[in-house]
Amino acid sequence: MTEEGRRRCLGVVDLGGSKILSVVADDEGHVLAEDRRPTDAEEGSEVGLERIGASIEAALANAGLRREDLRAAGVCAPGPIDSARGVIPEAPNLPGWHDVPVCQYLAARLGVPIMLENDATAAAYGEFVYGAGRGCRHIVYITVSTGIGGGLVLDGRLYRGASGAAGEIGHITIDVDGPLCGCGKPGHVEALASGRAIAREAQAVLARGGSPWLARLAEEEGEASAATVQRAAEAGDPEATRIIQRAGYYLGIGLAAYVDVFNPEVIIIGGGLRHMGDPYLGPAREEMARCAMEEPLKVVRLVEAELGDYSGAMGIVALLREGAATA
């Protein structure tokens, strides 16, 4: 086999706050093998980089391939990233990681060009090419979990904005007098509709003795997380259901803004909170329909992401296939 012929596969790392997912795909974008391991971000970025390198090599080994078989590789990571320098400046869920030169490290270790992209931006592109946005040209992707991230594909192209910060649709203000967001600004969608917002509301309810049911579950589990609230709601706790509906209501106000500004064909919802189902997504749909303008509402569909864990990784695969990694 020629050298050209052997350098045929693509390597991808989706670096998350809690886990690393590495994927090896062929040049047509078919996943050949993967590796999963915990990030253990608190052990620091040096150990973290070593773990990322080991993970992608394990995925290669699982596919029966070697480093020499890689044509290019890429990483998606949370928080703002510096694609031009290939550096993760800092990320809220990678505590203690500052200016981590992930591209330089992996390029030296793997001997191929490495690209770096924000995880929600990559996920938007993954859903656009392989998932719920197939066949569309204008999509808004939103991931709702502890925080809220997003990405935009406009006119068939990934839209990154002037400094790569576009698509942060969790950070638009929908209540100027609302609670401060994790980013420090007032009343953002993330501060009112995310898992963190649901947990904060639950703690407020518990503090005023509002729900004995939720209090018992929270005591059993040692915390009142969004998942605790969901379990209480499923067990029939009206206060827990109200908290989730309220978060959905605020999500809908955000969705209406995206409908009016971007006129998308689809809004794709990813992230763990979409599993809250109707109590969360029902009010979101209603509020979107109540607040957005009629014309863009006629064309937009609100759908769930199709690629699950793989949205981000498949976005990088798609970008690598288009030749995104060049340096």
Q: Please state the φ and ψ torsions of residue 35, each to the nearest 5 degrees.
A: -145, 140
Pick the closest to residue 129 from 97, 105, 153, 162 (CA basis).
153
Binding segment for Zn ion (CB under 5 A), chosen from 1-9, 14-22, 176-184, 242-250, is: 176-184
DSSP code per residue over 219-251: HHHTS--HHHHHHHHHTT-HHHHHHHHHHHHHH
User: In the complex with Zn ion, which residue's Cβ is closer, 93 or 241?
Assistant: 93
User: In the complex with Zn ion, which residue's Cβ is closer, 178 or 210?
Assistant: 178
Torsion-angle region of residue 49: left (phi > 0), alpha (psi -120 to 50) or beta?
Answer: alpha
Q: Which of 180, 183, 204, 299 binds Zn ion (CB under 5 A)?
A: 183
Give buried/exposed letters for 195-229 (b at 16+ CB in 10 A, else e). bbbbbbbbeebbeeebbebbbebbeeeeebbbbbb
Answer yes or no whether residue 109 interacts with Zn ion by CB under 5 A.
Answer: no
Pick the closest to residue 299 from 271, 262, 269, 248 (CA basis).
262
User: Closest separation between CB of residue 165 and Zn ion, Å?
Assistant: 12
Residue 156, token pair as written in the block: 């068939």
Residue 296, token pair as written in the block: 């863009």
Binding segment for Zn ion (CB under 5 A), chosen from 11-19, 61-69, 188-196, 211-219, is: 188-196
User: Closest separation between CB of residue 90 and Zn ion, Å?
Assistant: 15
User: Closest separation between CB of residue 188 and Zn ion, Å?
Assistant: 4
Answer yes or no whether residue 188 interacts with Zn ion by CB under 5 A.
Answer: yes
Q: Which of 139, 181, 193, 302 binds Zn ion (CB under 5 A)?
A: 181
User: In the complex with Zn ion, which residue's Cβ is closer, 51 or 188?
Assistant: 188
User: In the complex with Zn ion, which residue's Cβ is closer, 188 or 196?
Assistant: 188
Answer yes or no whether residue 180 interacts with Zn ion by CB under 5 A.
Answer: no
How many residues line the site for Zn ion (CB under 5 A)? 4
Binding segment for Zn ion (CB under 5 A), chosen from 13-21, 102-110, 115-123, 174-182, is: 174-182
Binding segment for Zn ion (CB under 5 A), chosen from 122-130, 167-175, 204-212, 266-274, is: 167-175
Answer yes or no whether residue 196 interacts with Zn ion by CB under 5 A.
Answer: no
Answer yes or no whether residue 171 interacts with Zn ion by CB under 5 A.
Answer: yes
User: In the complex with Zn ion, which residue's Cβ is closer, 84 or 165?
Assistant: 165
In sequence order, which residues have a C-beta less than 8 Å from that of residue 152 and are 6 or more positions away? 124, 139, 140, 141, 158, 159, 166, 167, 169, 262
Residue 244, token pair as written in the block: 């989730």
Q: Is the dihedral of CA 216, 217, 223, 225 positive or negative?
A: negative
* In the chain, alpha helices (H): 3-6, 45-62, 102-110, 119-130, 189-193, 195-207, 212-221, 226-234, 238-262, 278-291, 294-299, 311-321
User: In the complex with Zn ion, which residue's Cβ is closer, 190 or 239?
Assistant: 190
Nearest residue to Zn ion by CB is 181
User: Closest separation between CB of residue 81 and Zn ion, Å?
Assistant: 17
User: In the complex with Zn ion, which residue's Cβ is closer, 131 or 170?
Assistant: 170
User: Closest separation between CB of residue 176 and Zn ion, Å?
Assistant: 13
Contact positions toward Zn ion, by CB under 5 A?
Answer: 171, 181, 183, 188
